[in-house]
Amino acid sequence: MKFTFMADPKNKKAMHALAACAKRYGQTDLASSDVVIVLGGDGTLLKVLQSLLNYQTPVLGMNLGHVGYFLSNYSLDDLPDRVVQAEKRQVTPLKIAARIGAGKPMKQYAFNEFSFSRVTPQAARLGVAVKDQYGSIIKREVFGDGLIVATPMGTSGYYASANGIPVDPDHDAIALQSICAKKGFSAIVSPDSQVNVEVQEREKRPVCIDRDGQDRIADVRSATIKQANNKSITLLWERNRGLSR
């Protein structure tokens, strides 16, 4: 079995573990790898998943960070057997098509969530319309700190801290949760749904979008979010190891 080990270069503990793993099992280039092993925390896992959007290589994470909801305990032993015995979970990112600034389009992907947030002390005013595969439409106005649009995988993070409705990681859905809004809004919708968000009073109430808590998109005008089914990645998960829900 050929492994590619990845770690955050700023995490000394993870880099020491990478060196030990590569010495024991070898380090293979990504194009020839059977499995990618991520050494670090949740943030490192998300960054690696982003880098693998155009690959079909399964991923196993080993926790050398702080929480590690979808990572297993770190151990140097029996890695090939652990990979074979691990459960396979398809994780599908959300794709956003947004217009920013003077109307410039951009596209990005998120495995946890896209969060819309106010930039100034002024509350954000967002027009939200969710259309499902049958043509039914949910319309809401969110007036407050913002809105989170999450994958099931992402509902254990920022979404949960905003009191979002829990979603089992094995359930295929898109989850929405307002953030400190005048009228709270929560919804669990089908994975075939399309979420449209319009930033209202943009000059007075500017809004940014954070992707997976790492990358920020400024000066947002509008956005369309849906599931990116052609970008799914197989996450190897050990039920009795680590801190997964």
Where would I find the beta strands (DSSP E) of the chain?
A: 3-7, 35-40, 59-63, 72-73, 87-91, 94-100, 104-110, 113-118, 124-131, 137-150, 174-181, 186-189, 194-200, 207-211, 215-217, 220-227, 233-237
Q: Catalytic amino acids?
A: 42
Parallel, antiparallel, or unpaired for β 94-100 and 220-227? Answer: antiparallel
For residue 119, the tally of other CB atoms under 10 A from its CB is: 15
Distance CA 22, CA 175 (A): 38
* Single-letter residue type at 210: D
What single-letter amino acid sits at 47?
K
Render the burial of 20-46: b for 16+ CB within 10 Å, e for the rest: ebeeebeebeeeebebbbbbbbbbbbb
How many Cβ atoms sit within 10 Å of the Cβ of residue 215? 12
